[in-house]
Amino acid sequence: MNKNDWWKDAVVYQIYPQSFKDSNNDGIGDINGIREKIPYLKDLGVNVLWLNPIYESPMVDNGYDISDYYKIADCYGTMEDFENLLKEAHDAGIKIIMDLAVCASSIEHKWFKESKKSRDNKYSDYYIWKDPKEDGSAPNNWGSIFGSGSAWEYVEERGQYYLHLFAVEQPDLNWENPDLRNEVYENMEFWLKKGIDGFRLDSISLISKKQDFPDDPTAGENGYGSPYFGASNGPRVHEFLQEMYEKVLSKYDVMTVGEATRTPVDKALLYCQPERKELNMVFQFDHMHVDYGKFGRYSDLKFKLSDLKEAMFLWQKSLNGVGWNSLYWDNHDQPRFVSRFGNDDSKYRKLSATMLATVLFFQQGTPFIYQGDEIGMTNVAFDSIDSYKDIEAHNMYLKFSNMGLSNDEIMSYIHNKSRDNARTPMQWNSNSFAGFSCVDPWIELNPNYSKINVENDMNSDFSIHDYYKKLIKYRKGNEIVRDGDFKEIGLEDSDIFSYTRTYKGKTLLVLGSFSDKKVCYNVPNNLQKFKRELVVSNYDGNIEQNKDASTLYLRPYEALVFYMY
Ligand code: GLC
Ligand code: CA
């Protein structure tokens, strides 16, 4: 392994600063809160933190709408706090990567304020402006990803529309403009010179738009097409990233992970093949699409295990030896993984959370833990839409109401899929406000915090946290896990997730049951000749099997990892 490839041995912990730890009791998590928890993170064993945006922002999209890329938002603290955080993390052996959100900025950014004034000032072309059609309507039929109607907004002063793939307050930056690109690179240098260790590149597959801005011919009943149609993996995205690499990233020993929405695996390779000099890895979405329904992401469908395996196995096989995977079950945009892919009833919550962690961590790639996953935090179901904070949830509520859906139906989708599922405050203990703060937090707590919290978990006989610790320890420097070939087993099996990893004749067999009943697993013939040593298990270390050990009986949500020799 190349020594600059340290990120291959990394385990990343994602922090949503707003909801992690509030140090000054204003109800909002902050940088000094993160500093307080460095010992906790070090003890868990993670060695990289990814911070969601902490820059100055009017917080329409919780910080992804940035008004100054060089400033820390007041609610999170000061630049000095950030520098202290970076130093203390580094002292603890933990690196920090920042979110680089440059597909769009905030309308409050000075570039936009200038840009909208006229067609011929320095910043006029920093955004994507288009003339209206002859009848005055928007330049094309793209709808906003957040479901708020057209992706175009008219501005009187310029007599033109600007493009916003997300919220109206998030105008897309014009990457065609070299001055804009240089501003981005300069900003990256600013943070890298402070000593940060890399970037998570937000919505990066959407930065290059087809320049003829074609209508999406598959527009839905409401007339809006998908902006992905003209923006995902656009014509110049790789040229831009190669330029970014050459001008900035190549000079630093950093890690990069791009958010690659709507990117099939063959296209993902273009981002992460090392010889192409773009990014180290991308976040794939295929496995996040397995429970999409007639309204897309907002749905109450249950996934099929075979679909989930198909998606994950495809990425494992396709990137094997040529690229690198990022491994995740959830993040700040997704529901909690134990509720979505496991079973959050009290009986099986811990078992299913640890099983899911196991089948994820032994795949090839860099694992990402989202805050609270390590104690099995669950989805939340607020009664009223008024308790939700996420702009997407509100836009969707409105959109579905206009379509005539009942409140109950809409709320069931929101309970399942709202991004706020992941954004409720971190549950540290059972004190009031869960030890997150001493006042009402910016978003309500998940009421289950009195039972599910870090303190309870770590003091219990079966601690998810301790299990994560073991997984992280096991991975460290393990060549089979890092470099081993991946082989899928039993794609069609509707209960068991199974695969092997093999490196220089040494094999790990990984099994996880997605069933709440006992299920049989027939060890594949070619593996029966090996001796097996159990190295990881989320039960008591005993194995239930038949006499010649050719069939294993997996208990509900059991995870087993064998070293075969
Ligand atoms: C990314 C972020 C998401 C944000 C969106 C728009 O997808 O992960 O949270 O809302 O970009 O900026
Ligand atoms: Ca605070």
For 533, phi then psi, to 5°, come to -120, 125
How far apart, in whole angstroms, are the C-alpha atoms of residue 202 and residue 103?
Answer: 7
Tokens of 348: 């099986």
Question: What is the predicted pLDDT for the residue at 420?
Answer: 98
- 202 CA to middle of ligand 1, Å? 7
CB 532 within 8 A of CB 520: no
- Write the residue with the smallest CA distance to atom 12 of ligand 1: 64
3-state helix, strand, coil in the chain (%, to 5): 35, 20, 45
Mean model confidence pLDDT for the chain:
97
- 73 CA to middle of ligand 2, Å? 11
Tokens of 188: 């990256």
Cα distances (Å, whole numbers) of residue 95 to 86, 196, 245: 8, 7, 20
Q: Are residues 424 and 455 in the same domain?
A: yes
| Residue 20 pLDDT grade (very low, low, confident, very high; cuts 50, 70, 90) | very high
Q: Are residues 518 and 373 in the same domain?
A: no
CB 252 within 8 A of CB 192: yes
Among this protein's residues, is 153 annotated catalytic?
no
Mean pLDDT of 126-143: 98
Give the Cα-Cα-Cα angle 185, 107, 402 (nearest 5 degrees): 125
27 has pLDDT over 80: yes
Q: Are residues 336 and 467 in the same domain?
A: yes
Q: Are residues 497 and 454 in the same domain?
A: no
Maximal CA-CA distance, the chain: 81
21 has pLDDT over 70: yes
Local structure of 526: helix, strand or coil: helix
- 203 CA to middle of ligand 1, Å? 7
Mean pLDDT of 124-145: 97
What is the percent of the chain where pLDDT is above 90?
A: 98
Residue type, 506: K
**Domain of 532: which CATH number?**
2.60.40.1180
Q: Which ligand is nearest to the CA of 23?
A: 2
1 has pLDDT over 70: no
Which of 208, 256, 202 has the alpha carbon at shortest distance from 232?
A: 208
Q: Are residues 458 and 528 in the same domain?
A: no
Question: What is the predicted pLDDT for the residue at 309?
Answer: 98
How far apart, in whole angstroms, are the C-alpha atoms of residue 296 and residue 367?
Answer: 26
Give the Cα-Cα-Cα angle 360, 46, 276 (nearest 5 degrees): 70
What is the percent of the chain where pLDDT is above 70?
A: 99
Cα distances (Å, whole numbers) of residue 385 to 60, 205, 397, 420: 17, 31, 8, 11
Q: Which residues pair with 282 in a beta bridge?
A: 258, 325
Q: Are residues 353 and 397 in the same domain?
A: yes
Q: Are residues 426 and 504 in the same domain?
A: no
Among this protein's residues, is 275 annotated catalytic?
no
Local structure of 396: helix, strand or coil: helix
Tokens of 558: 């059991």
- Write the residue with the smallest CA distance to atom 7 of ligand 1: 203
| Residue 148 pLDDT grade (very low, low, confident, very high; cuts 50, 70, 90) | confident
How far apart, in whole angstroms, are the C-alpha atoms of residue 250 and residue 274?
Answer: 12
Q: Which of 422, 439, 472 is the last residue of a domain?
A: 472
- Write the residue with the smallest CA distance to atom 2 of ligand 1: 202
Q: Are residues 433 and 388 in the same domain?
A: yes
In a domain, 299, yes or no: yes
- 532 CA to middle of ligand 1, Å? 44
Give the Cα-Cα-Cα angle 391, 395, 399 (nearest 5 degrees): 170
pLDDT in tens, 238-280: 999 999 999 999 999 999 999 999 999 999 999 999 999 999 9
**Domain of 95: which CATH number?**
3.20.20.80
In a domain, 55, yes or no: yes
How far apart, in whole angstroms, are the C-alpha atoms of residue 138 and residue 119?
Answer: 18
- Write the residue with the smallest CA distance to atom 4 of ligand 1: 64
Q: Which residues pair with 497 in a beta bridge?
A: 512
User: How many Cβ atoms from other residues are within 10 Å of residue 118's Cβ?
Assistant: 11
Q: Are residues 325 and 456 in the same domain?
A: yes
Q: Which residues contact ligand 1 via a Cβ below 6 A?
A: 61, 64, 101, 166, 170, 202-203, 259, 332-333
Q: Could you give the number of structural domains in the chain?
A: 2
- 162 CA to middle of ligand 2, Å? 35
Q: Which ligand is nearest to the CA of 36?
A: 2
Question: Interhelix angle for 79-91 vs 178-194, to 10°?
Answer: 60
Q: Which ligand is nearest to the CA of 31?
A: 2
How far apart, in whole angstroms, are the C-alpha atoms of residue 402 and residue 400?
Answer: 5
Q: Are residues 91 and 225 in the same domain?
A: yes
Which of 508, 454, 441 has the alpha carbon at shortest distance from 480?
A: 508
Tokens of 513: 């049951």
The label of the residue with tokens 């073991």 reads: 470
**Position in ligand 1 atom list of the atom nearest CA 419:** 9
Cα distances (Å, whole numbers) of residue 18 to 59, 77, 137, 161, 368: 11, 11, 38, 33, 19
Q: Look at the chain and count its residues.
A: 565
Residue type, 55: Y
In a domain, 366, yes or no: yes
Q: Are residues 532 and 451 in the same domain?
A: no
Q: Which of 450, 472, 494 is the last residue of a domain?
A: 472
Tokens of 537: 């298990």
- 400 CA to middle of ligand 2, Å? 34
CB 197 within 8 A of CB 189: no
In a domain, 512, yes or no: yes
2 has pLDDT over 80: no
Catalytic site residue from 172, 197, 259, 373:
259
The label of the residue with tokens 């082989």 reads: 487
How far apart, in whole angstroms, are the C-alpha atoms of residue 132 and residue 278?
Answer: 36
| Cβ-based neighbours of 174, under 8 Å, separated by 6 or more | 125, 126, 127, 128, 180
165 has pLDDT over 70: yes
220 has pLDDT over 90: no
221 has pLDDT over 80: no
**Position in ligand 1 atom list of the atom nearest CA 261:** 7
For residue 46, what are the domain limits? Answer: 6-107+173-472
Alpha carbon of residue 355 to chain centroid: 20
pLDDT in tens, 345-378: 999 999 999 999 999 999 999 999 999 999 999 9
In a domain, 154, yes or no: no
Alpha carbon of residue 114 to chain centroid: 33
Question: Would you say the pTM of this structure is higher than 0.75?
Answer: yes
Mean pLDDT of 118-124: 97
Mean pLDDT of 446-453: 98
Alpha carbon of residue 532 to chain centroid: 35
In a domain, 186, yes or no: yes
Rg (alpha carbons) of the chain, rounded to whole number: 24
Q: Which ligand is nearest to the CA of 34?
A: 2
Question: What is the predicted pLDDT for the residue at 3?
Answer: 66
Tokens of 164: 């916003």
Q: Which of 429, 451, 472 is the last residue of a domain?
A: 472
User: How many Cβ atoms from other residues are within 10 Å of residue 43's Cβ?
Assistant: 13
pLDDT in tens, 177-212: 999 999 999 999 999 999 999 999 999 999 999 999
Which of 233, 192, 240 has the alpha carbon at shortest distance from 96?
A: 192
In a domain, 127, yes or no: no
How far apart, in whole angstroms, are the C-alpha atoms of residue 304 and residue 292?
Answer: 11
| Residue 516 pLDDT grade (very low, low, confident, very high; cuts 50, 70, 90) | very high
Mean pLDDT of 412-419: 98
CB 269 within 8 A of CB 318: yes
**Position in ligand 1 atom list of the atom nearest CA 64:** 12
| Cβ-based neighbours of 86, under 8 Å, separated by 6 or more | 96, 194, 195, 196
**Position in ligand 1 atom list of the atom nearest CA 165:** 6
222 has pLDDT over 90: no
Pairing, β 496-503 against β 485-489: antiparallel
CB 361 within 8 A of CB 327: yes
Q: Where are the alpha helices (DSSP H) in 287-444?
A: 305-319, 337-340, 349-361, 391-402, 407-417
Q: Are residues 446 and 406 in the same domain?
A: yes
Catalytic site residue from 202, 333, 373, 457:
202
In a domain, 12, yes or no: yes
Q: Which helix (H) or strand (E) holds 214?
A: none
Which of 302, 373, 348, 356 has the alpha carbon at shortest distance from 511?
A: 356
